[in-house]
Amino acid sequence: MGEVISFQQARFMQSAQTVPQCPEDSGVEVAFAGRSNAGKSSAINTLTRQSGLARTSKTPGRTQLINFFALTEHCRLVDLPGYGFAKVPKAMKVAWDRNLADYLQRRRSLQGLVLLMDVRHPLQPYDEQMVLWAVEAGMPVHILLTKSDKLKRGAALNVLHGVCRQLEVATQSADLSVQLFSSHSRQGLEELEQQLKSWYERGAEL
């Protein structure tokens, strides 16, 4: 493809409730996933420098659809439905989880998963499930420990090192990385950009 990635040029493409409604399964996609209160939409808005691109809400769980954002003709960002927190009817939650799993398992253009966790509450059971699924599927994962500005630097680094140790034991030599991130202070933004660009470049070569 040879396209230059500029996150600031991201534009909304479409939303999909199910995998068959998604855009054509070609090119390269990187998806953002996480608990409904992990700051996923805020991270996407910080990455793209567009405060209103991804919907943010004080009520966790508002991202109920798979949302696609075009970076170039062949590269997309994907905002997946939040999981594990939203106060919604059980049948709706089951449908969200099924659509999320369906996308992760069937989408051939998916080249990497950004998994967001609140630095104050990392590796909740569903987070661990997502990591283990990705490892088994051979899917690269980059974990953002979000809201790092809520902790003092030393405490945040202790969490980072603890998560790295725990994941190393659980996943052995998987294609997995972890960083601190703050949408408020933009800590870790450059590191996130570099990781995503490497995935897009690798996907373009396949």
Q: Is residue 117 situated within a structural domain?
A: yes
- Domains contained in the chain, number: 1
Residue 61 has pLDDT above 60, yes or no: no
Confidence of residue 58 (pLDDT cuts 50, 70, 90): low
The whole-number pLDDT of residue 85 equals 58
The whole-number pLDDT of residue 132 equals 87
Residues in Cβ contact with 126 at an 8 Å cutoff, skipping those fewer than 6 apart: 35, 83, 84
The whole-number pLDDT of residue 88 equals 66
Query: H-helix or E-strand containing 114?
Result: strand 110-118
The whole-number pLDDT of residue 197 equals 96
Domain with 22, as residue range(s), is 7-205
Q: Give dist(CA 15, CA 144) in Å, integer.
A: 24
Q: Is residue 99 situated within a structural domain?
A: yes
| pLDDT tens figures, 4-42 | 899 999 999 999 988 999 999 999 999 999 998 899 999
Residue 54 has pLDDT above 90, yes or no: no
* CATH code where residue 106 lies: 3.40.50.300
Phi, psi of 111 (to 5 degrees): -115, -5
| pLDDT tens figures, 83-115 | 775 566 777 777 777 888 889 889 999 999 999
Q: Is residue 2 situated within a structural domain?
A: no
Strand order in the sheet with 176-180: 11-16, 66-70, 75-79, 28-34, 110-118, 141-146, 176-180
Q: Is residue 1 situated within a structural domain?
A: no
pTM assigned to the model: 0.91
